[in-house]
Amino acid sequence: MGQQQIFLPVCESTNSEAQQLLNKNEATEGCTIVTAKQTRGRGQRGNSWEAEPGKNITLSVILSPSFLPVRYQFHLNMAVSLGVLDLLHEQGLKQAQVKWPNDLYFEDKKLGGILIENTINSYSLQHSIVGIGLNVNQLVFKNNTATSLALALGHNLDVDVLIKRLLELLEKRYLELRSGKVAKLKYEYLQVLFRYQEQHFFMVDGHKVQGQILGVAEDGRLALEINKGLRYFSFKEIAYII
């Protein structure tokens, strides 16, 4: 990954830039778009993604996971989350976790997020744009639910060096996925899953419910035990209450 790397000092969104390259047939698998500043960075649930220019990791990788059936697209989320966590763990944040489906958390604060946008070709994925935003050297945030590597570790890091390593680690996880090591990925994903097997509060249909995460289904839905019953929730149906 990253053999074809495009650096844009400013852009609206690296995911959108990646989509434009795909539309023009100008991207090969692994092509990575990196920027110092996004003017319309996008997050999940239609949120925007804001990051102080030049201080953080903001990139998108183009993949062609045609081996992955659409119903298993969540497996890519697991592989990517683990790749980013490998980097965080390697940098010394041993307690970094993934908040389902793929937010990066450290000590109850968000370190980064992943936005994967897929194009589908009948039963399998054709292209995936894997957008990653990781707070590296930013020290001030609008809300106190966010943090950065520098805040957590107490020192600044070299963003370019981190990006190079991140792409290596992502590739390693992607190759595991491609070679069918799904059980291993799932096992490791659960090991680092935020609030796994803990009682916690969630919002479901506008109501606050208490439940315990028991796992994640093959299709990516979150398995929650609520009042001794097992229920499965898609991303749109449930939100954590932090």
Rule CB under 6 A: choose which of 58, 73, 81, 97 binds ligand BTN.
Answer: 58
Strand partners for 200? 211
Nearer to ligand BTN, 230 or 239 (CB): 239
The residue sitting closest to ligand BTN, measured at its beta carbon, is: 113
- Quick one: which segment of 76-84, 125-133, 177-185, 219-227 binds ligand BTN (CB under 6 A)? 125-133
Question: How many beta carbons lie within 10 A of that of residue 187, not counting itself?
Answer: 10
Question: Does residue 131 touch ligand BTN according to CB under 6 A?
Answer: yes
Question: Does residue 115 touch ligand BTN according to CB under 6 A?
Answer: yes
Question: Does residue 49 touch ligand BTN according to CB under 6 A?
Answer: yes
- Quick one: which segment of 23-31, 43-51, 118-126, 155-163 binds ligand BTN (CB under 6 A)? 43-51
Smallest gap from Cβ 132 to ligand BTN, in A, equals 6
Interacting residues of 225 by C-beta distance below 8 A, sequence separation 6+: 211, 212, 214, 231
Rounded Cα distance between 194 and 95, Å, is 10
Question: Does residue 133 touch ligand BTN according to CB under 6 A?
Answer: yes
Question: Does residue 189 touch ligand BTN according to CB under 6 A?
Answer: no
Question: Does residue 73 touch ligand BTN according to CB under 6 A?
Answer: no
- Quick one: which segment of 58-66, 89-97, 137-145, 147-155 binds ligand BTN (CB under 6 A)? 58-66
Instruction: Write out the residues near ligand BTN by the rule CB under 6 A.
Output: 13-15, 38, 41-44, 47, 49, 58-60, 103, 113-115, 131-133
